Copies of this chain bind each other. A is one copy, B any other.
């Protein structure tokens, strides 16, 4: 019987609706570098979905590209980016932001369940030598939704964090690698989850949620659009056959597909978490969306591995389980049975 994939939503395939969008875009010729119809329609669609006329959308092939380029447009070379000490941009992107931002510095802050708090930011502000050239100047706050622990910020929490950031003039970036999963759970509008909560630039995840290597930078500040266009090109992040990423994102944001795909992943996790709790397996946090950290213990982890469950070990007997748009209830039930 097939192994059950709970390692990462990055291991999932491409959603059939997006494969269809690619096929549909593959007709005739189209001007390169974004001079195509799909790109124009994508911009229009994003404006509707995010209720923001001045929005710009830049498709990019990875979340790292989205994050590092967005941050480089927000942070001067002598600035620092404040983020959670477990943030992907801080620990998993190999200095991408420092490179693109000309040597800008990342500063990781603590926070329970991988969530930043206003108090932690205020503490970082209090410790800052503002205006002193010997010290990098905090310039951007970067939040991650879902966090790398699978936890989530409420809209109110986002608003409180960005309000603190504004007290010292910081710009705000949201790493929304799993934003769709969060919005699907929060039940808020995309606008409420982003610019209305104080976000200037969004890394819009789509890859983990069914797209073929296509995320996007969504820029809510019109003044940053032109600088971003230059930064993207010189980073090699402007696709010549732009119609394909544009067509994917267009389909993704149309008719709520992105939220449906995310809801499927969330529902699978809900079923999984319920089953685990019924079996007395401890979860580190109540999983709000599609990612759970489980205190399995090494013996159980070994057993699961032998029986064909695919997952990551995080050390100390903790395992990470991630569902995707592709995870079925049957797979969850089979996975749960492996715990018995």
> A residues engaging B (CB < 8 A)?
2, 5, 7-8, 10-14, 19, 22-23, 26-33, 60-69, 76-78, 80, 91-96, 98-100, 102-106, 131, 133-137, 207-208, 212-213, 226-227, 229-241, 244-245, 310, 326
Contacts and interface: CB of A to CB of B under 8 A. Distances in A.
13 contacts: A7-B31, A10-B33, A11-B29, A11-B30, A11-B31, A61-B237, A77-B230, A80-B95, A93-B233, A94-B136, A94-B233, A99-B234, A208-B240
A213 B135 CA distance: 21
A213 B36 CA distance: 15
B207 A135 contact: no
A61 B64 contact: no
A91 B135 contact: yes
Nearest to A310: B29
> Which 6 pairs between the two chains have the least Cβ-Cβ distance?
A65-B236, A99-B103, A78-B230, A133-B233, A5-B29, A10-B32
Give the one of A12, A212, A234, A238 with max B CB within 10 A. Answer: A234
A91 B135 CA distance: 7
A78 to B, nearest CB: 4
A303 B61 CA distance: 40
B94 A98 contact: no
A10 B240 contact: yes
A236 B98 contact: no
Contacts of A244: 14, 212-213
Contacts of A239: 61-62, 213
A159 B246 CA distance: 42
Contacts of A11: 29-32
A62 B213 CA distance: 13
